[in-house]
Amino acid sequence: MVVLIAVCACKSNNSEATYLDDEYAWKKWLEEGVAGVSANDGPFYVLNDTILNIATMDNAGIGIISDFAVSNGKIAIADNIASKIHLFTLDGHHLWSSGESGEGPGCFAHIGGIDMNAGVVAVCNTDLGRVDLFGIGNGEYLESLPVQWPFDVTVLDDTTVLAASIAEAALITAFSSDGSIEKYGEWDPEETDGMVECPSASNINLKIDSFNSYVAVTSVYYNNYQIYDTATQEIVSEFQREPPLPIEQSSESRYILRVNDCTFDDNGDVWALLAPTRPEWVDGRYSDIPLENISYQGIDVFSAQGRYLCGIGVEALWDTSNLTFCDSVLYLGSPTAICRFREVSYSSE
């Protein structure tokens, strides 16, 4: 696995001994894929270029990249620190920023997920219980759609807005351009946690994305995937990654899978960005976020029917938390940067 070894070799000498066994276990788990499925040789993605890096931007006023969306040559950014949304071109040119902290029209109180399509930018205004719509042209506030604790949002080509929430009676709330509202789907995990019980204080527990007539909703803490048909509102598939822990563990460290983000690619397959974490992360609620020096993450790829297709490696640090596809290009985002990635081939050793 030449490319993967080369990426990992870039670590400092001080970190290498500490994380060597951890990385080996994570790599083995990535290669072995899902229980009952043979090891898959998939592509490995490496950094192509950095589109935005807020550490080097002087006057854009970005506090953090909470979430982002790419469409028609533009990038929309949800910024939960500055209580704003920002729009950039793919070459990093700042077009506009909109919003401020508050409760009125165009104001935000805890921003969640964001999406951009059909001439609008839709963003979850979590604490205020609404999804706010802004015009792509100049960032003008358009309207608000009522949703209790919306975590994530997707906009269909016909301008229908779909929001995912665990506080509503149904998992998905659909707002059509004619003003009608429909609700469908359910998510009922076997157990709950503090982040679910207090969603306004959490990050995004649910992720939602759409492709043609399909919409995928993913529970990031329970690694649960649901695919619905937006035309019939019927569930197409529901599945989980198994096993949730690495098959091979060569150190005392134990991992729990967390799904950082989930998106459709341009072929309609579901890509889930995985993050390795230790039990303290869940039990202690961020008391010890580990593995800062692991320089790659895994991506699971499933068909919309729930069939596991392959495991993919990506050259990205553990805090990379968002991914999306646009025009067959893979974009990954962290709290401080958005990057484009390119595919290279590798094979298991």
- Rounded to whole angstroms, the Cα distance separating 77 from 70 reads 9
**What is the count of structural domains for the chain?**
1
Q: Does a structural domain hold residue 349?
A: no
pLDDT in tens, the chain (349 residues): 223 322 222 233 333 333 345 455 555 555 555 444 444 556 778 899 999 998 887 666 789 999 999 999 999 999 999 999 999 999 989 999 999 999 999 999 999 999 999 999 999 999 999 999 999 999 999 999 999 999 999 999 999 999 999 888 899 999 999 999 999 998 765 544 444 555 444 446 789 999 999 999 998 766 789 999 999 999 999 988 765 544 444 344 444 567 889 999 999 999 998 865 554 444 443 334 444 555 667 888 899 999 988 878 788 776 788 999 999 999 999 999 999 999 886 544 4
Q: Does a structural domain hold residue 216?
A: yes
Q: Does a structural domain hold residue 179?
A: yes
In this structure, are residues 172 and 187 in contact, taking their beta carbons and an 8 Å threshold? no
Q: Does a structural domain hold residue 76?
A: yes
Interacting residues of 25 by C-beta distance below 8 A, sequence separation 6+: 246, 248, 249, 250, 251, 253, 255
Task: State residue 46 phi and psi, 5-degree precision.
Answer: -120, 160
End-to-end CA distance of the chain: 6
Give which of 332, 329, 313 is closest to 321, Cα–Cα: 332
- pLDDT at residue number 56: 83
Q: Does a structural domain hold residue 331?
A: yes
Residue reference for tokens 């030449």:
2
Q: What is the reported pTM?
A: 0.82
Residue reference for tokens 């609700």:
183
For residue 175, give its domain range. Answer: 2-344
> CATH no. for residue 164?
2.120.10.30
Give which of 1, 142, 110, 119 is closest to 71, Cα–Cα: 119
Interacting residues of 76 by C-beta distance below 8 A, sequence separation 6+: 68, 69, 70, 85, 86, 87, 114, 115, 116, 121, 136
Q: Does a structural domain hold residue 280?
A: yes
- Rounded to whole angstroms, the Cα distance separating 162 from 131 reads 10
